Chain A
Amino acid sequence: MPELTNIEAVTRTLQQEMARNPNIFITGEDVGRRGGVFRATKGLIEEFGDKRVVDSPLSELSIVAVGLGAALYGLRPVVEIQFADFIAPAFNQLVQEAARFRYRTNGDWTCPLLIRTPYGGGIGGGLYHSQSIEATYAHVPGLYVVAPSTPYDIVGMLRYALRVNDPVLFLEHKKTYRLIKGEVPDDDYMIPFVKADVKRVGSDVTVVAYGLMLHETLTAAQELLHEDINVEVIDPRTLHPLDQDTILSSVKKTGKALIVHEDNLTLGLGAEIAALIASEAFEFLDAPVMRVAGPDVPAMPYARTMQDYFMPNAEKIAAAIRKLNAY
């Protein structure tokens, strides 16, 4: 079993799937000759040519719209938005159009459009190269929002995403691209959507986390073993719609829940998960549901001190878990 980084998991899966399915093509800014600014599409134009790996003009609205049109026609477009922060001009095309085509035609027109985009902070990206956009788009029925966070999950879910007949926003945490490595089997396994994963089995406190925060949570959980606190870590993987059962059965077991995300606190994914737990597992709770999240400021500041203050990390997560465990 080869060991891959998160970015290698993306590149390798795109390469394999393009070789398998001639209807897949890629477009986005710098995806061709440059192989993407993060190198996610490295080598693909050499292998598949410039009809299948298309350098787009610098225009996010139409990158999504053109992908949407090609998807309506029956192709399998994979479009890259260079940074999640820049997807805003495409909001109308993604939310009002891609996500609504099926509903507004009663299933007549479908839109199998895959949008990949790097998100998240901790890399000195300042306000406009660090954002977590998931909550905004997780509010949209008809649009899958997924955020696999390990090489194994990225491969399995990217492969699956290329078979889903609805639009998918595929979020890749940019700081984990080269930081996170893991073994990936050679076979063509897939991981279905709306299926969370128990990343660590525990009994005292449930923590729900994804992206870079999943890895910070796993670090915190390891450290807390020394304090005899046994943490269960749930990775939702699909952020919308949520796999409610996996989250609820964990909380029913531990009676304590913490949700961690980098996205700012108010109306983030944590709010929805907390509401879910409150309404479906209330009588199992031994403590209030807690959240660790980015502060409610417009976006992540650049200066190292302020950036570090903004980012949740293993230390802050451990502190919250201790507090919960004390109940």
Chain B
Amino acid sequence: MTLNLTENKPAQTRAEPRHIQLGLHDEQVTEMYWHMLLARRLDERMWILHRQHEVAFHVSGIGHEGCQVGAAQALKRGHDYFFPYYRDLCFTLSLGITPRTMMLALYGKHGDPMSGGRQMPSHYSARDLNIVSVSSPVATQIPQASGVGLAIQYQKTDQVVVVCFGEGSTAEGDFHEGLNWAGIFKLPVIFFCQNNQYAISVPIEREMPVKNVADRAYAYGMPGVIFDGNDFLESYSAMKLAVERARRGEGPSLLEAKTYRPVPHSSDDDDRTYRSREEVEFWKKRDPILLARKYCYEHNIFDESKNQEFENRAREIVDDANEFARSAPYPPEEEALNGVWGALPKI
């Protein structure tokens, strides 16, 4: 059965704020907010750099920060495995990829640690953080995550795998095959769908015949969980439960964050051709960062002057990363030939 956390949200009867109930300290909540804010400011700068013709492409994670930061908080960084998709700027930032690295990749500059300037921007990768390289064909990472899950089960560690994708990807065969494996073998994999309601221009009704992505979990013998993806604490709560379940050896979960992408699909898209401005404005009022800030103010976690400090610091970090990447050299041209094969073993 699909569990809908949003519809079944318990009434706030206890005096304790939600983050305390979830076992999060004020400092942890502040850090989560900080990652959301920094990701947003970085993302906005990337849009500007594209519009200034500084870079060729940008694909954005704006609007997804709430579900991403909440989920990242429930993982052990550098221990668990993470398969991101291209909107996971805030997720990968929270797990340890730096703004300088992201800017190097945006520009395709020499020494970009994610792909050495080979991939388009937002194709995250960090071997030392167990963040597996993103490719452009959607959903390919889903059955690969089941493979890592199988390997974890094989080696009997307490690691888990989280794999992210949009709801558009769930129309691909890779999605169904990946969940099928995980269900059969009870693999420690959390399938994390960030449902922003559009596959570029195609709305959800034309993407799938059921109401929720999570409804499909039943067919693969795992729980399906729906939650408000713009509520960072609800995302943390859902991921925490799924991670605990996976670590206990009870198998996979399918999580569905209901969210929205208030910006075009990518720098080459114009969303005015397929949706109303009223709809976009409605969702902008439910911006996950606005909601998180309001929560923090209400619970005296930090105040407006502290928030201004965060804004100033984010500006400095984004400026630094931007300048670092802008002034870095491009890779030497013959670098295009390297990295095809490894050294063959000597006999």
Measured CB to CB, the nearest residue on chain B to A156 is: B347
A59 within 8 Å of B (CB atoms):
yes
Binds A, one of B45-53, B143-151, B252-260: B143-151
Let me know if A107 and B339 touch, CB within 8 A: yes
**Assembly CA distance A141 to B339 (angstroms):** 10
Let me know if B143 and A103 touch, CB within 8 A: no
A76 to chain B, nearest CB (A): 10
Let me know if B133 and A96 touch, CB within 8 A: no
Let me know if B154 and A51 touch, CB within 8 A: yes
**Assembly CA distance A156 to B288 (angstroms):** 58
Let me know if B127 and A105 touch, CB within 8 A: yes
B210 within 8 Å of A (CB atoms):
no
B23 within 8 Å of A (CB atoms):
no
B contact residues around A165 at 8 Å (CB)? 342-343, 345
Known: A65-B140, A65-B174, A73-B148. A104 touches B119 (CB 8 A): yes
Let me know if B148 and A106 touch, CB within 8 A: no
Number of interface residues of B (CB under 8 A): 44
Let me know if B177 and A62 touch, CB within 8 A: yes
Let me know if B151 and A61 touch, CB within 8 A: no
A104 to chain B, nearest CB (A): 5
Map CB proximity to B onto A83-101 as digits: 1 under 8 Å, 0 otherwise: 0000001001100110011
Let me know if A73 and B151 touch, CB within 8 A: yes
A contact residues around B173 at 8 Å (CB)? 61, 89
A69 within 8 Å of B (CB atoms):
yes
B341 within 8 Å of A (CB atoms):
yes
**Assembly CA distance A57 to B125 (angstroms):** 29
Known: A70-B151, A106-B115. A65 touches B135 (CB 8 A): no
B109 within 8 Å of A (CB atoms):
no
Map CB proximity to A onto B156-188 as digits: 1 under 8 Å, 0 otherwise: 000000000000000001100110110010000
Let me know if B344 and A105 touch, CB within 8 A: no
B contact residues around A100 at 8 Å (CB)? 135
Let me know if A104 and B123 touch, CB within 8 A: yes
A125 to chain B, nearest CB (A): 25
Interface size bucket, A side? 35 or more
**Assembly CA distance A62 to B147 (angstroms):** 9
A178 to chain B, nearest CB (A): 29
**Assembly CA distance A217 to B106 (angstroms):** 54
A309 within 8 Å of B (CB atoms):
no
Query: A104 contacts which of B115, B155, B342 (Cβ < 8 Å)?
Result: B115
Within 8 A of A (CB), among B19-74: none
Let me know if A69 and B340 touch, CB within 8 A: no
Listed by A's residue number, 10 A-B pairs whose Cβ atoms lie within 8 Å are A57-B180, A61-B173, A66-B181, A69-B151, A71-B147, A96-B140, A106-B116, A106-B118, A108-B127, A164-B345
Binding site for B on A (CB under 8 A): 25, 51, 54, 56-57, 59, 61-62, 65-75, 77, 89, 92-93, 96-97, 100-110, 141-142, 160, 163-166, 190, 192-194
Sample of 13 further A-B pairs with CB below 8 A, known A57-B184, A96-B137? A61-B143, A65-B144, A66-B144, A69-B151, A92-B140, A93-B140, A93-B174, A96-B135, A104-B125, A106-B115, A106-B338, A160-B345, A165-B345
